[in-house]
Structure 1
Amino acid sequence: MMILVRMNAPIILQFVTPLLILLAKPTGSVPVGVCYGRVASNLPPSSDVINIIKSNGISRIRLFNADPEGLRPFSGTGIELMIGIPNEVLPTLANGMISTSINWLQSNIFSQVSPTQVRYLAVGNEVLLKDTFYSQYLVPAIRKLHLALQTLGLADKIKLSSAHAASVLSISYPPSSGLFDPNLLSVMTPLLQFLSETGAPLMVNVYPFFSYINNMRYVSLDYALFKSPFPEFDQSLGYDNMFDATVDAFIYAMEREGFVGIPVVVTETGWPTAGGNAASAENALAYNGNVVKRSLNNLGTPKRPGIGVEVFLFDLFDESDKGGEEVERHFGIFKLDGHKAYEIGFN
């Protein structure tokens, strides 16, 4: 496949550095993280939540907001965290001095948990589609935060990125045709440049469930659930599930813009247990169980075999107060009493 080169970017940064990142990636299994959404009024006490997480061998958690009530219980637990920086904070960080970002990080995050527990900062969530007003502030805020982390001596430890919906791709099928929405490139291109420079991953939210529900005429349930008996071939690569196809579509889309080797982290993926068509504990186990198995076995995708995809399953518990369709409130892997909604393992 032809690789497009952005002539205004240094070749070494664009190609050699990301390639070295890939070559240096460890060959062991990739731990599976879980999202801890807290849009609910009936969640278990924090001490019980930590016990559930640790007793099930879960070592990474994604928190969507840097609020003290959510962060403080994780202090000293050894659990690695992905912490979200809300969309509405982006203008303040983008327009402020580096000291503004330093103060925000210290006041909102590092005063609650040690920097050693922070693996990622997810700056904004689905900004390009959900909160377009903040799009112009996304990359400037990320760069200010990076300078702040450099000042604090934490830039090598904590990686900065931003989570995006799969619909930032205007073309996702077949995977080799993956293409970012041209209307979003004014933000996506400088973001990819930053990720390439710093070795940070592209963060994407991938939901084959919704792809199936919204395109049942073209997408089979078996393909969404990793149960397809026959692979679909694209440039000699065989795809038997939508998860791999979607991740590879992002990889091809990045290459099409001249960026090779940027890792992909799936910041949200999951399957509901109730509330709609195909939503059941059986299907949730089939989907999430296969996602876990692929990460733990370091399978990777057809385009990047043997390079395990880091994932964060959605969600720790059902979120009773979420808006939208009923199905949105039934992604919980655990019941409120700590028992599993279905028998999934994490190690």
Structure 2
Amino acid sequence: MRKSSHIIPYFLLCSSLLCFYSARAESFIGVNYGIVADNLPPPEATAKLLQSTSIEKVRLYGTDPGIIKALANTGIGIVIGAANGDIPALASDPEFAGNWVGSNVVAHYPASKIIVVTVGNEVMLSTDQNLVSQLLPAMQNVQNALNAASLGGKIKVSTVHAMAVLSQSDPPSSGAFNPKNGDTMKALLEFHKANGSPFMINPYPFFAYQGDSRPETLSFCLFQPNPGRVDSGTGIKYMNMFDAQVDAVHSALKAMGFKDTEIVVAETGWPYKGDSNELGTSMDNAKAYNGNLINHLRSMVGTPLMPGKSVDTYIFALYDENLKPGPGSERAFGLFKPDLSMTYDVGLSKSTQSPAPSPDIPAPLAAPPAPITVTPAPTTPVVPLIPAPTIPTAPIIPVTPMNPTPRPAAGIRSIAISCRPPRSLVLILVMILAFTLEEVLED
């Protein structure tokens, strides 16, 4: 007869393994938490909201102590940022860097789980060459200050780039950094390699669609069924713009000799409304992009050049920021409203357990797919006003390359196919193993 005293420990083991599996499964989903608004809920309410979701990481654009303290003891990873205006002092004065780290990191860690310090935002695109040249010394001084506080191996130092740091991205395999910043970029990449820190980038398929508003481009950007686009350099067929943009960055890193540098998507998202000349801004498209992106990340298929691993991705944004300047879309990226209700459901809530759009397989091609075009985000795209696009039935036509320019700081099912076993299967397999061991022990 089976000894029941052995069963309880095995059930605990199974439960622990399942919890670990579940936690790991969502560790790559983050969100941007901007505060350029006058109607946001208190940080404590936001912390509770985040705990009710599967969001594991939050990126802040500054070092608001109220927010950092509110996130203490939640287990949520926090990215904090030093502003572009702080870079000259951080670069020239190690004591200033030490005080900055002491006030904004040491004072909160480890209760507040700070994981990355970003120094500046899209600095490499600045017209101020002095600022560009000061970026690396500022990062080095912050790193030295973290090392002095015995946090160098626990908290990484990075900076955030726009896609326009690439001078070439079409096709993805030809990805290359702008040669005018070649020496500075190489030095930055040496810093990342030496410290094991990530290269952080802001890919926005939404802005690529603004530059090429054909219906087939919309489906390609939204992870919806489409004929796909072939990289002429590798023969790889891409099924969505997000993978193509991330792989273009990977190719650029590889071309510089840093193919093992980790890539983190610091921002990506889709606005649910915008000005009349901003094509593709709708609730359905925002829900499709973010929902299918989350589904794609959860599938763990990775990208064609980096298979089997989802990059850490921070979705823009947690809330709308009603005081941000620029076109209407800049104030309409929020996943949640100030009253903490969802703007639309993309399957992040733990309580509702609403799934992201389920995987689907693209239909067979009727004709060879067109070459791929991957475009960095434009600052203020100017495109003609045309009727909202619909998914085409005709074969895809050639893509006109789009000029790279920087961006300042209802859905058809996703084509991603999950390679990860269901949680229930994992539990069953572990339980079978446990009871098999039980039999062996009894014999």
User: Normalization by structure 1: what TM-score?
Assistant: 0.87
Q: Which amino acid aligns with 2:347?
A: G
> Could you say which residue in structure 2 is the equivalent of 1:332?
334
Native 8 Å contact 2:71 2:112 kept in 1: no
Distance 1:160 1:46 in 2: 25
Q: 1:110 aligns with which of 103, 106, 115?
A: 106
> Could you say which residue in structure 2 is the equivalent of 1:3?
none
Provide Cα deviations, 1:128-185, integer angstroms capped at 9, x if missing partner: 1146342111111111111111111111111111110001111111001101111122
Distance 1:163 1:86 in 2: 11
> Could you say which residue in structure 1 is the equivalent of 2:380?
none
SS at match of 1:148: helix
Native 8 Å contact 1:126 1:163 kept in 2: yes
Distance 2:152 2:236 in 1: 36
Q: Which amino acid aligns with 1:67?
A: D
Provide Cα deviations, 1:274-328, integer angstroms capped at 9, x if missing partner: 1132111211111111221222222210001102111000000111000011111
> Could you say which residue in structure 1 is the equivalent of 2:122?
126
1:176 lines up with 2:178 in the alignment: no
Native 8 Å contact 2:220 2:228 kept in 1: no
Q: Which amino acid aligns with 1:207?
A: Y
Change (3 A) 1:30 1:236: farther
Aligned-residue offset at 1:89: 0.7
Q: 1:192 aligns with which of 172, 189, 200?
A: 189
Q: Which amino acid aligns with 1:294?
A: H
SS at match of 1:220: helix
> Could you say which residue in structure 2 is the equivalent of 1:244?
243
SS at match of 2:303: coil
1:208 lines up with 2:208 in the alignment: no
Native 8 Å contact 1:127 1:164 kept in 2: yes
> Could you say which residue in structure 2 is the equivalent of 1:321?
323
Aligned-residue offset at 1:69: 3.5
Native 8 Å contact 1:170 1:180 kept in 2: yes
Q: How does 1:36-185 map to 2 (within 5 A)?
A: 36-97=33-94, 99-114=95-110, 117-130=113-126, 132=128, 133-185=130-182
User: Normalization by structure 2: what TM-score?
Assistant: 0.69
Distance 1:257 1:339 in 2: 45
Distance 1:290 1:279 in 2: 16
Contiguous gaps of at least 5 residues in structure 1:
1-25
Q: How does 1:182-331 map to 2 (within 5 A)?
A: 182-216=179-213, 220-234=217-231, 235-275=234-274, 276-331=278-333
Q: Which amino acid aligns with 1:236?
A: G
Larger radius of gyration: 2
Distance 1:108 1:343 in 2: 34
SS at match of 2:150: coil
SS at match of 2:307: coil
> Could you say which residue in structure 2 is the equivalent of 1:12?
none
Q: Which amino acid aligns with 1:257?
A: M
Aligned-residue offset at 1:107: 1.4
Q: Which amino acid aligns with 2:268?
A: T
SS at match of 2:79: strand
When structure 1 is superposed on structure 2, of 255-264 and 131-140 the one drifting more is 131-140
Tell me how large the CA RMSD over aligned residues is: 2.0
Higher relative contact order (CA closer than 8 Å, sequence separation 6+):
1
Native 8 Å contact 1:170 1:179 kept in 2: yes
Change (3 A) 1:297 1:232: same
